Amino acid sequence: MTADLSTTGPAALCRSPLAHLTAALRAATVTGPRAVALAEWPCAVMVNLRVDPASPAAARIEKVLGAALPVRCGRTASAGSGTTLWLGPDEWLVVAPPGAPARTAELAAALAGEPGSVVDVSANRTVLELRGPAARQVLEKGCPLDLHPRAFGRGQAVSTQVGPVPVILWQTGGDSYRLLPRSSFADHLARWLMDAMSEYALPEVD
């Protein structure tokens, strides 16, 4: 269990792992009918939860979050500015925008000594947002999942791989996705995505 570091720890000390690529990400934007754009959502708040979903502690944690913990692979639950992503039968990742309170102290208190953990992991990953009509096609170049809407849709999130990088892939809209790689892999993933986007700036060949 950890103290709440949302104002004095990771949020205050955050350094974007992709700050050096800001101009390149902007320049990689493709416009037109096959538009696609890539941007970083730096310094997002992320809290890892481990708890038995059938325990009284889980019920108390749900009250803090304002939403039930998702209980199936791929499911998410949103309340206020935060979204809880299912990672495993007893593990979740709570993601909130930069500057949002991590609430680790409240969540840790909800455990009340029961087995589990609450850990602020904001520095562990960054968030890349890929959006536009060609976003799914870009991902399909290097993701083994079936990303067709019949199989993967808005609000779903799973652990997978894009190109050579393990990520959490979260579809936030019809043509928008958030990718959560480890910070140390973020540069490699961003460059892979920019390369995969480049063909959509060219005229489509019949």
**In CATH, 10-201 is 3.40.50.1100:** no
Q: What tokens does 22 get?
A: 């800001």
Residue 202's pLDDT is: 87
| Amino acid type, 153 | G
Residue 14's pLDDT is: 75
Q: What tokens does 131 get?
A: 């959006």
Residue 203's pLDDT is: 82
Start-to-end Cα distance in the chain:
57
**Taking each helix axis from N to C terminus, what angle separates 56-65 and 104-111, rounded to the nearest 10 degrees?**
160
The parts of the chain modelled with pLDDT lower than 70 are 1-13, 206
- Domain map (residue ranges) of the chain: 10-201
Element (H, E) at 50: strand 45-51
What's the CA gap between 79 and 8, in Å, rounded? 24
